[in-house]
Amino acid sequence: MTASGIAQQAVDIFTARERQRFLEQNPKSVALAERAHQSLYAGVPMHWMADWSTPCPLFVERAQGARFYDVDGHDYVDFCLGDTGSMFGHSPAPIARALAEQGARGLTTMLPGEDAVVCGELLAARFGLPYWQVTATATDSNRYVLRWARAVTKRKTLLVFDGCYHGTVDDVMVRYRDGETVHRSGLVGQAYDLTQHSRSIPFNDVEALEAALAQGDVCALLCEPAMTNIGMVLPDPGFMQKCRELTRKYGSLLIIDETHTISTNIGGCTQLWNLDPDFFVVGKPIAGGVPCGIFGCSAEMAERMAASRKSAQEDSHGHGHSGMGTTLSANALAMHCMRANLEQVMTQAAYDHMLPLAKRLADGFRTLITKHDLKWSVTELGARSEFQFCPVSPRTGAEAEAAFHDELQMALHLYLINRGILITPFHNMTLCCPDTTAADVDRLIETLDAGITELLAIPG
Ligand code: PMP
């Protein structure tokens, strides 16, 4: 039997039907997909875009608020929201205005403007950490923070949780298997052994955490306050506080990556749970969907970073390179959009709208599970919720992964897409934005209900 309790044969029949329907409904996407194969590797501008549940990529014409429109004229309620890049809706009016304003005033000079100072002040006031840096992506933020952490602690080992994702940062591409750290499967072109300087342990395991830190070689624990990339996994009560307490006890730093969990609260889980990290990372929605990442650090870190930099500069006689930064980082366009986002879009009012809708959605999933007598569960945190194919919410990445039934997940996602609803690919996560309505939420639940009813009617 499958993890989900749904027979594979039924899923296969259901999937074949939905693939056929997609191809019939989307002639323009199909034609563009065929054309794209002649110039784009894998037929898409970024290879992940070929990994959705659809038989060929769904080509988007435009997006606005909680909706997007495909090239064949269908409209969709979007609960994926660019996997958080558009967490505050597609093209919010203040961001569209900021783009137009800055568009005529220069996009990148490799010099700061007043917007940069205002953003620094806004970030410090909002997130409580005094000093900030701006990057092009959350991946970059994590890479640079890791470099700083190694520099200031003079330790090499990075500690992460099994099943984590923090962007395409080499050092986090490890898993925990039978008590050992191993390479994550599927890595392409991996030249060196990542397990040399990275260690992976199960989430919610205080004993493993202490044992890993007690070795005395850990520069930092890099973690999300709740896992959101292997399915959602919430921390046990007090677990994140233990992460803070034990990293401090063993001289390791705590890096909190709130790139996804920023959907929980205007100051992230960091503020909500009083996590007091040494470094804090956000990317994706921080500039309203314009590529941008940030990281903040404590005053103590800033001091230690300055000392490390000074000694690195002395060693290199002023001709070295920090190994951090990209040319377009903190460009004028990103800074102007981040300012508009922080001032006008990423507001308490936005969260006040999103959070109850996500609750309504999670309740709807639970009702469906009960109605169809499925052994599934729902995990919710802030504006996110997810149904998982296991009877109780997972406590570790391995448990979340054991609940995967990829073919079923893809089949249900495709069923929803064929009826104008998009949820986050690769697992079953949903996100509500300030433009999502209660009717949108109800439509997702009703459509999923119809899909599950059809699926269960197929003899297994
Ligand atoms: N951190 C977390 C927690 C993420 O979920 C992601 C992306 N899913 C990243 C970092 C990387 O973001 P990006 O791909 O925008 O660099």
Which whole number is the average pLDDT over 204-232?
A: 98
Do the beta carbons of residue 197 and residue 205 sit within 8 Å? Answer: no
Whether residue 454 is predicted with pLDDT greater than 90 in this model: the reply is yes
**Probe residue for ligand 1, chosen from 139, 143, 146, 161 as the CB with the greatest number of ligand atoms within 8 Å:** 139
Whether residue 1 is predicted with pLDDT greater than 80 in this model: the reply is no
The pLDDT confidence band at residue 36, using thresholds 50, 70 and 90, is: very high
| 229 CA closest ligand 1 atom index | 5
Structure tokens at 355: 């959070």
In this prediction, residue 343 carries a pLDDT of 98
In this prediction, residue 270 carries a pLDDT of 98
Residue 242 vs residues 106, 179, 301, 365, 405: alpha-carbon distances, Å = 47, 21, 21, 32, 32
What is the rounded distance in angstroms from the CA atom of residue 212 to the CA atom of residue 210? 5
Q: Is 263 in the pocket of ligand 1 (CB under 6 A)?
A: no
- Bridge partners (DSSP) of residue 257 are 281
What is the rounded distance in angstroms from the CA atom of residue 253 to the CA atom of residue 248? 7
- In the sheet where 253-257 sits, what is the strand order? 131-135, 293-297, 279-282, 253-257, 218-223, 157-161, 198-201
| 84 CA closest ligand 1 atom index | 8
The pLDDT confidence band at residue 2, using thresholds 50, 70 and 90, is: confident
In this prediction, residue 3 carries a pLDDT of 86
What separation in Å is there between the alpha carbon of 20 and the centre of ligand 1? Answer: 33
What separation in Å is there between the alpha carbon of 10 and the centre of ligand 1? Answer: 34
What separation in Å is there between the alpha carbon of 139 and the centre of ligand 1? Answer: 6
In sequence order, the 6+-apart residues with CB closer than 8 A to the CB of 261 are 224, 225, 226, 228, 268, 269, 381, 382
Q: Is 283 in the pocket of ligand 1 (CB under 6 A)?
A: yes
| 167 CA closest ligand 1 atom index | 11
The pLDDT confidence band at residue 249, using thresholds 50, 70 and 90, is: very high
pLDDT, tens digit, 9 for 90 and up, residues 219-247: 999 999 999 999 999 999 999 999 999 99
Q: Is 284 in the pocket of ligand 1 (CB under 6 A)?
A: yes
Please name which of 230, 104, 215 lies closest in space to residue 158, comparing C-alpha atoms. 215
Q: Is 258 in the pocket of ligand 1 (CB under 6 A)?
A: no
Counting residues of the chain whose pLDDT is more than 90, the rounded percentage is: 97
Q: Is 138 in the pocket of ligand 1 (CB under 6 A)?
A: yes
Whether residue 254 is predicted with pLDDT greater than 80 in this model: the reply is yes
Whether residue 203 is predicted with pLDDT greater than 80 in this model: the reply is yes
What separation in Å is there between the alpha carbon of 83 and the centre of ligand 1? Answer: 9
In this prediction, residue 164 carries a pLDDT of 98
pLDDT, tens digit, 9 for 90 and up, residues 128-180: 999 999 999 999 999 999 999 999 999 999 999 999 999 999 999 999 999 99
Do the beta carbons of residue 384 and residue 362 sit within 8 Å? Answer: no
**Probe residue for ligand 1, chosen from 166, 256, 280, 290 as the CB with the greatest number of ligand atoms within 8 Å:** 166
Tell me the pLDDT of the chain averaged across its residues: 97
Q: How many CB atoms lie under 10 A from the CB of residue 215?
A: 12
3-state DSSP call for residue 109? coil
pLDDT, tens digit, 9 for 90 and up, residues 68-99: 999 999 999 999 999 999 999 999 999 999 99
pLDDT, tens digit, 9 for 90 and up, residues 398-453: 999 999 999 999 999 999 999 999 999 999 999 999 999 999 999 999 999 999 99
What separation in Å is there between the alpha carbon of 168 and the centre of ligand 1? Answer: 8
| 137 CA closest ligand 1 atom index | 16
Do the beta carbons of residue 203 and residue 227 sit within 8 Å? Answer: yes
ipTM, two decimals, is 0.99
The pLDDT confidence band at residue 319, using thresholds 50, 70 and 90, is: confident
**Probe residue for ligand 1, chosen from 165, 222, 424 as the CB with the greatest number of ligand atoms within 8 Å:** 165
pLDDT, tens digit, 9 for 90 and up, residues 323-364: 999 999 999 999 999 999 999 999 999 999 999 999 999 999
What is the rounded distance in angstroms from the CA atom of residue 46 to the CA atom of residue 135? 20
Classify residue 449 by burial, with Cβ atoms within 10 Å: 0-12, 13-18, 19+: middle
What separation in Å is there between the alpha carbon of 319 and the centre of ligand 1? Answer: 32
What separation in Å is there between the alpha carbon of 260 and the centre of ligand 1? Answer: 7
